[in-house]
Amino acid sequence: MPSGPGGKFLDHHLNSPIGIAAGPLLNSKWVEAYSRIGFDVLTYKTVRSMAMPAHALPNIRPVENREHAAIATRRTQIESQPTLAVSLGIPSVEPEVWRRDVRRAKDRIGSGQVLIVSVVGTWAPGMDTEQLVQDYARCAAWAAEAGGDAIEVHLAVPDPFAEQPQLIYENIPLAAQILYRVRTTMPKPVLAKVGVFRTPRILHETATKLASWASGFVMTHGVRRRVVDEEGNAAFEGAGRDRATIVGADTWPLASRQIEEMLSWRKAGAWDRAILAVGGITTVERADHLLREGADAALIATTALFDPLFGVRFRQLRAAAVA
């Protein structure tokens, strides 16, 4: 393993600022495996306060982005820089299971590495705002107690109380309430996971209002789009699955632009919070670009599945630059 270039995330010194975003690290075995091949910021897959199954198969499909929709293809092989449509539904095992497993994951990583645990609130019909906020806080407290060095609060999920479709981070009062409750419930740093913003002004306003309760931001993991097959039929069967999250190579132009906008606002002194870059980082050059722009860490997800030695090659790139 080449030596890491170092780095810093909040109060943690890192071997390298390269990591894995929420998704691929399904349990402690996955965390341990990736921690040994050059990834030092490790995000345990998003967990809930109750067990939740995944959507029916297929729930991940390769796609081609076109003007009006993403088109699921029938390719049997996927190139090294894929674009995928994901319709999983944020499944989770029982809290008793993941809480024990997070402890194992923390024990299995080494010095110069950090474990982030991603959590999401679970809404059910009849629940009010306070109950959803409390569910987020309960899940975050369990994750912190289990050993997470920081807690990622997943706010890029549907807002169940909105009259028009929107995600929770777009409802600033609700998002702020969730972050406030999480931060005052447990002692670990809080990271707000947000999604796509319609304009730079909205990005700035949202980040400014949420910064009081967050130690950092995780952005931008994917883009919601309609997904159909080559005949124009819904690519994923089942109610509410006409739209899915597009991840991978094709999200780079949008994701990188928003990350750079966030970094610009931070440089301008709007607030001082960590920024974890996610979205379309399919090459070590892309990761290096965002880190040199000021991102505290560059996290990959889709690419980690197809290029597990990404972290090693990033270290080689940085070593060659120094030489």
Per-residue model confidence as pLDDT tens digits over 115-172: 999 999 999 999 999 999 999 999 999 999 999 999 999 999 999 999 999 999 999 9
Cβ atoms of residues 146 and 106 within 8 Å: yes
pLDDT at 79: 63
Please report how many Cα atoms fall inside a 13 Å half-sphere around the Cα of residue 269, on the Cβ side.
0
Question: Could you tell me the domains of the chain?
Answer: 7-61+92-224+249-322 (3.20.20.70)
pLDDT at 221: 87
For the cut 90, the answer to whether the pLDDT of residue 304 exceeds it is yes
Is the backbone of residue 248 left (phi > 0), alpha (psi -120 to 50) or beta? left
What sign does the CA torsion over 306, 110, 44, 246 have? negative
pTM, to two decimals: 0.96
pLDDT at 67: 82
- The pLDDT of 238-257, averaged and rounded, is 94
Q: How far is CA 42 from each of CA 106, 110, 171, rounded to the nearest angstrom?
A: 10, 11, 28
pLDDT at 78: 60
For the cut 90, the answer to whether the pLDDT of residue 240 exceeds it is no
Cβ atoms of residues 251 and 85 within 8 Å: no
Per-residue model confidence as pLDDT tens digits over 72-122: 987 655 666 789 999 999 999 999 999 999 999 999 999 999 999 999 999
| Residue 24 dihedral angles phi and psi, to the nearest 5° | -70, -30
Cβ atoms of residues 35 and 108 within 8 Å: yes
